[in-house]
Amino acid sequence: MLFKLSWNNMKKSIKDYAIYFLTLVLGVAIFYMFNSIDSQQAMLQVSQSQREIIKMMISMLGFVSVFVAVILGLLIVYANNFLINRRKKEFGVYMTLGMGRRQISKIILMETIFVGIISLVIGIVVGVFASQFMSVLVAKMFEADMSEFQFVFSRDACIKTCIYFAVMYVAVMIFNTFTVSKYKLINLLNAQKKNEKVKIKNSFLCILVFIVAGAMLGYAYWKVTADSGSLSTFDKLLPPILMGIVSTILIFWSLSGFIIQIVQKMKNTYLKGTNMFILRQINNKINTMVASMSVICLMLFMTISILSSSLALRNTMGRELVEMTPVDVNLYKIANLPERSVNKYGKETIYTEEQRKDSKIPLADTLKSNGLDMNVLKDMVEIPIYTSNDLTWSDFLEDKLEQLKAKFPMLAYDTEEEIVKISDYNKIAKLYGIDEYELNDNEYIMICDFASMKEVRNEVLVDGNNSLTIAGKQYKSKYNECKNGFIVMSTSHTNTGIIVVPDNCPLTDDMKEIHFLAANYNDDTEEGKKKIEELFSKSDSAFIQSLDKKGLEIEGLTKTRIMEGSIGIATIVTFIAIYLGVIFLIASSAILALKQLTDSSDNKQRYTILRKIGCDEKMINKSLFRQIGIFFGVPLLLAVIHSIFGIQFAVKMMSGLASEKDLLPSAIATVVIIGVIYGAYFLATYFESKNIIKEE
């Protein structure tokens, strides 16, 4: 009997379960999608290093899934609580007819199991089909060959999803049993007659609190944008974060207390149509949901910031990879090795005579003498890079040093400046296809493209007090700003500074720090380039073994390895950001939707009164639409304002990795994601609320 009653109740109340059901299906589908990547990678034709990156991403997504499961579990408990409160009168009737709390708990338990099983099955089906698109996305991000693409079902992801959601439902069942055990018959029968208690706040106090909150928020915005350089450590960053959280709470606390006072003074607006009713309803909602609205606003802020910043990072790294990897390989070795050296940790290294002798000869000679066929390389350019103990970052910054130390305390100001002769730099620049420069005998150029370091150096160069003593000779800067350029390939613009000097600058062999070589592979086919790549990367290649036997160290970067590593990092960040962002978005939307549905159920009598005083269905529906629109829009609006400043701060912190010009397409993509999910919940809430207020 209880089984049949539970089944009939679920079918009868299916419209009440719409938001709950939508949330469960989306949660299950997303959970399955992101945990099925390990099965999808098997069909991707990727390199070994990319496969390792994918494994690392899968491992990280596994940890993130635990956090996601907790969020979804709390959300399910919250949603289930809404359904129970919605049916208090029904449970009161059951108790009046002689049914005990244990039997009511069994009914709720069965209904929960029915809804859970149905949503789990549908969610997994949706997730299985959606995961095929995820395969295409993974392949595109890793630039993998999908010639062996086939439909994949991840048994492990399915089992993991079922186990996680089974644990969540056990928690929900325990919560339901505990909740029902506290019910009293009189409270159940009178549940619909009770309204939330709303305390009338002092409007003057609310205005004062709002102004204070606005001032705090403005200061926090200023700190993370105009004064972001001072936020170099977590303890300095924490106060603006706390101010942002506290001011958000205060804004929602004060909002309902004075907005109604202001609008009431605007008689033409306040008394028009159902505006009076809408305003009162919104006022009560915000007034009774200060904590919830604040949390929702902050979750939406995190969603927007995480998605926009990560997508901007992905776009920037993808665009700059081509620009920053103009040749196939960079090789370099240390010049002028001493007999022994001690690192900053006190570890001593003693160099052999052969190592010290090799450090004084060109890198190309080392390659030849260790058995490398030089015909595998073309367009080869080798240059020396010099340093001097008498020229460090501190020496360059001079009178700006203390000011910049206060602003950027984490920089290593005792780092020696790198020096390159103009003809050597132009050889590299010509090979790379970047700007070449000219110099007079008494001039130098600072080459730098790392944004934050460029800003530091420009503060020195712009003053005109920028003369340097290099190898005993005085030079002045040709320009009052840094010029763009680089020597070593990288994933992005990370050159912190290279001083380019005239060819007649008296640099000595003892000042040589690095032997640097750039070249392309002498093969036009991918297979041929891969074989050449292995000469520099595989430990069992004859060349690498010859170096190891002699204890010689040649460091190297190849275009392929840089691209694979960069793509992997960007992909991991993007996937985790999308995973968390979508879950935060679903949670925020579901909480707002369930709160609105609860209010619609509690306020049915008020809509009945509106009908009795002459409001037609069109006016009532319009009133409901505006209420829900404002209710969904207020936390989103404040979250967007937070995000404008939060994203700027994130981009500055990722200086050299993410570019502001990539924010627009990222912001558009974020708007689309939020529009689809947030909009779906908004429309579902509106249509379900319409059905609720029409009930007799």
Q: Which residues of 240-260 are buried (b: 16+ CB within 10 A; e: fewer)?
A: beebbebbbbbbbbbbbbbbb
What is the distance between the alpha carbons of residues 440 and 459, in angstroms, rounded to a whole number? 23
Answer whether 628's CB lies under 8 Å from 423's CB.
Answer: no
Question: CB count, 10 Å around CB of 328?
Answer: 22
φ/ψ of residue 340, rounded to 5: -150, 155
Pairing of strands 340-342, 473-477: unpaired
For residue 500, give the 3-state DSSP assignment.
Answer: strand
pLDDT at 265 over 70: no
What is the distance between the alpha carbons of residues 684 and 689, in angstroms, rounded to a whole number? 8
In what order do the strands lie in the sheet containing 329-334? Answer: 468-470, 473-477, 443-447, 498-501, 418-421, 377-386, 512-521, 329-334, 555-558
505 Cβ contact list (under 8 Å, min separation 6) = 419, 421, 470, 471, 473, 475
For 337-396, how does the pLDDT look when each residue is reduced to its tens digit (9 = 90+)? Answer: 888 877 666 677 888 888 889 888 898 998 888 888 889 899 999 999 999 888 888 888
Assigned token pair, 182: 């506290």
Question: CB count, 10 Å around CB of 464?
Answer: 10
Assigned token pair, 655: 């200086």
For residue 11, give the 3-state DSSP assignment.
Answer: helix
Looking at the DSSP bridge assignments, the partners of residue 476 are 443
Mean pLDDT score of the chain, rounded to an integer?
77
* pLDDT grade for 145, boundaries at 50, 70 and 90: low
pLDDT at residue 488, rounded to an integer = 92
DSSP, res 415 = P
What is the distance between the alpha carbons of residues 54 and 139, in angstroms, rounded to a whole number? 11
Q: If phi over 0 gives left and psi between -120 and 50 gives alpha, with beta otherwise, what is residue 582?
A: alpha
Question: CB count, 10 Å around CB of 150?
Answer: 9
pLDDT at residue 299, rounded to an integer = 86
For residue 383, give the 3-state DSSP assignment.
Answer: strand
The winner for highest mean pLDDT among 177-186, 315-324, 477-486 is: 477-486
pLDDT at 229 over 50: yes
Answer whether 683's CB lies under 8 Å from 589's CB.
Answer: no
Q: Which one, of 228, 296, 141, lies nearest residue 647 by Cα?
A: 228
pLDDT at residue 465, rounded to an integer = 63
pLDDT at residue 352, rounded to an integer = 86
* pLDDT grade for 9, boundaries at 50, 70 and 90: low
**Mean pLDDT for the stretch of residues 534-551:** 80
pLDDT at 666 over 90: no
**Mean pLDDT for the stretch of residues 173-183:** 65
* Length reported for the chain: 696
pLDDT at 196 over 70: no
**Mean pLDDT for the stretch of residues 669-692:** 84
Half-sphere exposure of residue 170, counting CA atoms within 13 Å on the CB side? 6
pLDDT at residue 657, rounded to an integer = 55
Determine which helix (DSSP H) or strand (DSSP E) holds 91, and give its type and residue range.
Answer: helix 88-96
* pLDDT grade for 304, boundaries at 50, 70 and 90: confident
Assigned token pair, 245: 């959280």
Q: Name residue 313's amino acid.
A: L
Question: Bigger pLDDT: 663 or 354?
Answer: 354
* pLDDT grade for 499, boundaries at 50, 70 and 90: very high
Q: Name residue 308's amino acid.
A: S
DSSP, res 374 = G
pLDDT at 662 over 70: no
Answer whether 286's CB lies under 8 Å from 633's CB.
Answer: no
Question: CB count, 10 Å around CB of 414?
Answer: 9
What is the distance between the alpha carbons of residues 397 and 685, in angstroms, rounded to a whole number? 60
Q: Exposure of 65 by Cβ count < 10 A (0-12 exposed, 13-18 middle, 19+ buried)?
A: buried
Q: If phi over 0 gives left and psi between -120 and 50 gives alpha, with beta otherwise, what is residue 307?
A: alpha
Q: Name residue 109's amino acid.
A: L
* pLDDT grade for 195, boundaries at 50, 70 and 90: very low
Quote the crossing angle between the two packed helices 18-35 and 101-141, to the nearest 10°.
40
Looking at the DSSP bridge assignments, the partners of residue 381 are 518
pLDDT at residue 51, rounded to an integer = 63
pLDDT at residue 429, rounded to an integer = 94
**Mean pLDDT for the stretch of residues 277-300:** 76
Of the listed ranges 105-114, 142-151, 165-174, 356-365, the least confidently predicted one is: 142-151
* pLDDT grade for 43, boundaries at 50, 70 and 90: very low
pLDDT at residue 147, rounded to an integer = 55
Question: CB count, 10 Å around CB of 129?
Answer: 12
685 Cβ contact list (under 8 Å, min separation 6) = 19, 592, 593, 596, 597, 628, 632
Q: Is the dihedral of CA 290, 296, 299, 304 positive or negative?
A: negative
What is the distance between the alpha carbons of residues 296 and 282, in angstroms, rounded to a whole number? 16
Q: Exposure of 48 by Cβ count < 10 A (0-12 exposed, 13-18 middle, 19+ buried)?
A: exposed
What is the distance between the alpha carbons of residues 161 and 62, in angstroms, rounded to a whole number? 11
What is the distance between the alpha carbons of residues 28 and 32, in angstroms, rounded to a whole number? 6
pLDDT at 127 over 90: no
For residue 601, give the 3-state DSSP assignment.
Answer: helix
For residue 616, give the 3-state DSSP assignment.
Answer: coil
Q: To the nearest whole percent, how much of the chain has pLDDT over 90?
A: 10
55 Cβ contact list (under 8 Å, min separation 6) = none
- Only one residue has tokens 């007649």, namely 504
* pLDDT grade for 167, boundaries at 50, 70 and 90: confident
What is the distance between the alpha carbons of residues 12 and 29, in angstroms, rounded to a whole number? 26
Question: Bigger pLDDT: 31 or 437?
Answer: 437
For residue 386, give the 3-state DSSP assignment.
Answer: strand
**Mean pLDDT for the stretch of residues 132-147:** 62
- Only one residue has tokens 């002459």, namely 614
Nearest-5° Cα angle at 378, 374 to 382 = 80
pLDDT at 67 over 50: yes
Q: Is the dihedral of CA 202, 205, 209, 215 positive or negative?
A: positive
Question: Bigger pLDDT: 666 or 533?
Answer: 533
Pairing of strands 340-342, 443-447: unpaired
**Mean pLDDT for the stretch of residues 468-488:** 90
pLDDT at 427 over 90: yes
Answer whether 329's CB lies under 8 Å from 518's CB.
Answer: yes
Question: Bigger pLDDT: 250 or 49?
Answer: 250
Q: Name residue 572's amino acid.
A: I
Note if the pTM is more than 0.85. Answer: no
